């Protein structure tokens, strides 16, 4: 691509200017993407951890797991139909705690997973509590932001129970709250203490490793006193309070950045192509094929784009280093590749008009007086 390269070298200024603009746009895209998945993780990583499972919720809960209440009867019927080793009962309760001796209230969510396939969070600090303990718990490490340290004692406010934090885990959050994992005895104690008279024990959800389709087939055979709905972990996550709003506003920003990039790249290449109409006419007249000229344009576009993307990725990496530790930011290779492909796609889209310009330039314009 002799011609394309020579032009970039000769018009360094305008191409550099373009690269700076596209770099900044791409940097924003990466940054907002990182923020979006960071917030998603911060919001719902405890459910993401169960991503391969299908959830069975109360139908009236509108797919909201925190509203769902399955009766013990429902749970036991499901468990006998699916097989005891194929179901996990999920109990959860959002609540407030305070560090013993301190007034400051901290929001967190208590999780209790009951089943043979139940998920065990991995520890980042501290020790695994013994299975029968009534006092020791592990909590997501984000609670450190609220001044809770390893081996601190916290008091759950609705039951008055106190627990000792013996371990931290990561990626265990629910609705932006840290999750504390309770074992069966602890959960039992908790519900006993809280119980309002006459209230039956309820469970938030039943999860199973079966596919959504299989789960539906099995569940349809059971006669239950309450209506249930089967949904994927993704659906549960999207129904979490605030999740959709958070994500859709960030996704909208990303879309707009892409649209802006299409226009900027498109206009830039449209203008430089328009300036070169006469030149392209001459080149065609002396035997340069239209294909060569179109390939030159594509080459210039991709060079501009790839240099910009490289630079923006570098900026993103630098940003990750200077971000404060509590900042929800997460950028997986998959997301990066997806965005890179999107940029490549839209850049080719943006030069369609310029390609059309090149195709329709007539070699005849080289001859004087036309």
The residue among 307, 269, 279, 294 whose CA lies nearest residue 355 is: 294
Minimum CB–partner distance for residue 369 and ligand ADP (Å): 5
Q: Does 369 bind ligand ADP (CB under 6 A)?
A: yes
From candidates 160, 287, 325, 333, binder to other proteins by CB under 8 A: 287
Q: Does 324 bind ligand ADP (CB under 6 A)?
A: no
Cβ closest to ligand ADP, residue 160 vs residue 369: 369
Which helix H or strand E contains 125, and what residues bound it? strand 123-126
Tell whether the torsion through CA atoms of 89, 90, 95 and 99 is positive or negative: positive
Q: Which residue is nearest to ligand ADP (CB)?
A: 369
Cβ closest to other proteins, residue 183 vs residue 304: 304
Minimum CB–partner distance for residue 365 and ligand ADP (Å): 10
Residue 220's binding partner out of ligand ADP, other proteins, none, with CB under 5 to 8 Å set by partner kind: none
Minimum CB–partner distance for residue 252 and ligand ADP (Å): 50
Structure tokens at 125: 């600090």
Q: Does 365 bind ligand ADP (CB under 6 A)?
A: no
Q: Does 337 bind other proteins (CB under 8 A)?
A: no
* Strand partners for 208: 54
From candidates 282, 298, 323, 346, binder to other proteins by CB under 8 A: 282
CA angle 208, 214, 217 (to 5 degrees): 115
**279 C-beta neighbours (distance < 10 Å), count:** 14
Contacts of 278 (CB under 8 A, 6+ apart): 365, 366
Cα 65 to its chain centre, rounded Å, is 19
Minimum CB–partner distance for residue 15 and other proteins (Å): 11
From candidates 101, 225, 286, 321, binder to other proteins by CB under 8 A: 286
Residue 321's binding partner out of ligand ADP, other proteins, none, with CB under 5 to 8 Å set by partner kind: none
Q: Does 283 bind other proteins (CB under 8 A)?
A: yes
Residue 286's binding partner out of ligand ADP, other proteins, none, with CB under 5 to 8 Å set by partner kind: other proteins
Cα separation, 243 vs 282, in Å, equals 58
Q: How far is residue 25 from each of residues 149, 321, 327, 335, 338, measured CA to CA in Å?
A: 40, 20, 21, 16, 16
The residue among 106, 113, 116 whose CA lies nearest residue 90 is: 113
Cα 85 to its chain centre, rounded Å, is 30
* Interface residues toward ligand ADP, by CB under 6 A: 369-370
* Interface residues toward other proteins, by CB under 8 A: 2-3, 6-7, 9-11, 278-279, 282-290, 292, 362-364, 366-370
């Amino acid at each position: 691509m002799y011609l394309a390269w020579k032009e970039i070298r000769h018009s360094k200024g305008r191409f550099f200017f373009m690269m700076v603009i596209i770099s900044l746009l791409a940097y924003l895209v990466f940054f907002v993407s990182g923020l979006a998945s960071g917030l998603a993780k911060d919001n719902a990583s405890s459910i993401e951890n169960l991503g391969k499972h299908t959830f069975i919720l109360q139908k009236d809960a509108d797919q909201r797991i925190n509203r769902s209440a399955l009766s013990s009867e429902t749970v036991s019927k499901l468990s006998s139909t699916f097989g005891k080793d194929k179901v996990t009962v999920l109990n959860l309760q959002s609540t407030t705690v305070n560090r013993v001796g301190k007034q400051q209230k901290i929001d967190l969510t208590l999780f209790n997973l009951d089943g043979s396939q139940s998920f065990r969070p991995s520890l980042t600090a501290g020790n695994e509590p013994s299975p029968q303990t009534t006092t020791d718990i592990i909590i997501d490490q984000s609670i450190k932001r609220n001044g809770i340290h390893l081996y601190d004692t916290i008091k759950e406010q609705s039951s008055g129970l106190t627990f000792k934090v013996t371990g931290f885990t990561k990626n265990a959050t629910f609705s932006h709250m840290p999750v504390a994992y309770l074992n069966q005895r602890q959960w039992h104690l908790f519900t006993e203490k809280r119980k309002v008279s006459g209230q039956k024990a309820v469970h938030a959800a039943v999860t199973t490793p079966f596919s959504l389709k299989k789960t539906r087939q099995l569940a349809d055979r059971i006669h239950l006193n309450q209506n249930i709905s089967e949904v994927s972990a993704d659906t549960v996550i999207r129904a979490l309070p605030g999740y959709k709003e958070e994500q859709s506003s960030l996704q909208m920003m990303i879309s707009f950045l892409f649209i802006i990039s299409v226009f900027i790249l498109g206009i830039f290449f449209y203008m430089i192509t328009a300036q070169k109409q006469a030149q392209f006419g001459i080149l065609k007249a002396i035997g340069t094929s239209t294909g060569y000229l179109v390939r030159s344009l594509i080459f210039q576009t991709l060079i501009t784009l790839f240099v910009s993307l490289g630079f923006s990725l570098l900026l993103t990496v630098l940003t990750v280093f200077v971000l404060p530790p509590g900042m929800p930011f997460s950028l997986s290779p998959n997301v990066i590749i997806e965005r890179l492909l999107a940029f490549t796609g839209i850049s080719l889209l943006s030069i369609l008009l310029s390609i059309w310009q090149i195709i329709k330039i007539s070699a005849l314009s080289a001859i004087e007086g036309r």
